[in-house]
Structure 1
Amino acid sequence: MTRPFRFGVVAPLRTDLPTWLDRVRRIADSGYSTLLVPDFPLTQPAPGPMLATVAARTDLRVGTWVYASPLRPPWMTAWEAHSLSELTGGRFEMGIGTGRPGIEDELREKGLPVAPPNERLAQIGETLRALRDLDGPDLHTPVAMAVLGPKARALAAEVADTVTFALGDQPRTEVARLAHDFRAVPEIELALAVPVIGDTVAPHMAPPDTDPAALRAVDALTVLPDDPAAAVEEIQRRREEIGFSYFVFGADFADRFAPVVAELAGR
């Protein structure tokens, strides 16, 4: 089964509120499916209020890209996710992962326990069990998991609706290998976050020292050409060869890639 394309935008609040809301409106008007926010505590408003605000002002789906499991007790993350599903009329998608590189330092700064990766993965499982209990039989909050290692991939295969890979400079062939088993599960959507367009790195989607030229040299999938026509061809290739149908860009590229979305969304 070939899934139709859809496109999301990671849009942290890095300006004044009216400017951010104007950008949100343009994203909605350009045909993107989903407005996403990162989980960076104290650098912007909390994800829940931001996403509820967007959902009240637009018809966009909204989501976290992604909750870091060690930052909150599992029950709290589940409660917030379930609440957002209810308040948005089912338009919320919960993205969750074990935490970005360097999360250990952030946890220490906030006085939180520094759990090893296997315990953080167990926290995700506990969160999802709590979420399904809260949702009950009449609501299903879609879950997107950011994974890389074999244990995380195995959990995602059991519980996730959408799977994305925590990628850096892995070459195309390695990413195709990671995606191979998921392509056999028609219920799972494969998502690809693309933090680099041309020579520009999206804030909060990749480390600021990311080298776009080095990514292109190894044929990494975390970069796309900045020419929309070339990007359309490459996006189609990535669905055909690997199975990616959901593509996520940074907000600074949303206007430039609006023609890409207009041509491919829903196809």
Structure 2
Amino acid sequence: MTTHPFRFGVVAAHAPNAEAWAGLARRAENLGYATLLVPDTLGTFSPFTAAAVAATVTVTLRVGTYVLSAPYRTPEAVAWETSTLRTLTGGRFELGIGAGRPHAEQDAAVLGVGFGTPAQRVERVERTVDAVRDVPVLIAAAGPRLLRLAARKADVVALGVPPQFTEEQVAARLDTLSEFAGDRRDRLEVNMNLAAVGDEWPGWLTRQMGVDPREVAARGGTGVLTGTADEMVETLRRRRDRLGVSYVSVNAQFMEEFAPVVARLAGT
């Protein structure tokens, strides 16, 4: 059983203007979320800039990348950006990094950078982590290569599995992480993301997820959390006891709906 207290993050990718982005950050802070997390895609805000703006208009909210695609930037460039943001946010910046989500190779081509083989991308993640070693780092991992690296060098592991993964499937991945981590396992904070919360969802969510959230929920997928606030609280407590997942992030679309759960569990 993990000794890490619950904390919660909001994953937000875009806003229509600066005022709306600042308002989202302030609202997340007021609702008790610990972090505002920005993806790294060409269809979303530039993560370092968006994180900086969010930190400027808040006081306690931590900001971070979720997750930086390692092939897009040299380790030295990431270290430079990270050092600047850690200083200017008063230590509230958290670096999250991974080897590149599905279809990230297309963004790399637009940016004019090489994407590399899976092994090369994992090696780039490791070199980047080494370049910012004085900073706590989240590594997104799913397969054995990245799970092994995260077990050795991460402070936080974001389990990058599909939303339809059941608790049994998640447990199997975390068993692999535990095997690799050995004595470090209890030090690792484990994060999982919720793509949807509640019982009613907008039509665009199926396109974004690539799967019907109703089907995910019906099959016990961990990426969709349903039920009353009490039921959600009990589900997350069970998952922490069973899986060790204490850091839960949620799509910003559901920030308000999930807030009662955050109020009940944050810091406990």
- The letter for the 2-side match of 1:180 is D
Could you say if the C-alpha distance between residues 109 and 54 of structure 1 is closer, same or farther in structure 2, counting changes exceeding 3 Å?
closer
Match of 2:142 in 1: 148
Paired with 1:248 and 1:201, the residues of 2 have a C-alpha distance of 19
Paired with 2:90 and 2:22, the residues of 1 have a C-alpha distance of 21
- Secondary structure of the equivalent of 2:256? coil
**Residue 45 of structure 2 is aligned to residue 54 of structure 1:** no
Tell me if the contact between 1:162 and 1:191 (Cα under 8 Å) persists in the aligned partners: yes
Match of 2:37 in 1: 36
- The letter for the 2-side match of 1:47 is P
**Residue 155 of structure 2 is aligned to residue 161 of structure 1:** yes
Tell me if the contact between 2:9 and 2:35 (Cα under 8 Å) persists in the aligned partners: yes
Shifted more, 63-72 versus 224-233: the winner is: 224-233
Paired with 1:254 and 1:226, the residues of 2 have a C-alpha distance of 16
Paired with 1:92 and 1:255, the residues of 2 have a C-alpha distance of 23
Equivalences, count: 259
**Residue 172 of structure 2 is aligned to residue 171 of structure 1:** no
Paired with 2:228 and 2:38, the residues of 1 have a C-alpha distance of 25
Paired with 1:258 and 1:106, the residues of 2 have a C-alpha distance of 33
Give percent identity, aligned residues only: 37
- Secondary structure of the equivalent of 1:200? coil
Tell me if the contact between 2:70 and 2:99 (Cα under 8 Å) persists in the aligned partners: yes
Could you say if the C-alpha distance between residues 199 and 122 of structure 1 is closer, same or farther in structure 2, counting changes exceeding 3 Å?
farther
Q: CA RMSD in A?
A: 2.2
Q: TM-score, normalised by structure 2?
A: 0.89
- The letter for the 2-side match of 1:46 is S
Give matches, 1:109-124, under 5 Å: 109-124=110-125
Paired with 2:204 and 2:157, the residues of 1 have a C-alpha distance of 22
Match of 2:14 in 1: 13
Q: 1:8 offset after TM fit, Å?
A: 0.4
Between structures 1 and 2, the one with greater helix share: 2
Q: 1:208 offset after TM fit, Å?
A: 4.1
C-alpha deviations, 1:92-150, integer Å up to 9, x for none?
A: 11111111111122222332213111111100011111112xxxxxxx31111110111
Match of 1:260 in 2: 261
Q: TM-score, normalised by structure 1?
A: 0.89
- Secondary structure of the equivalent of 2:211? coil
Q: 1:171 offset after TM fit, Å?
A: 2.1
Give matches, 1:60-139, under 5 Å: 60-132=61-133
Q: 1:231 offset after TM fit, Å?
A: 1.3
Match of 1:180 in 2: 175
Match of 1:2 in 2: 3
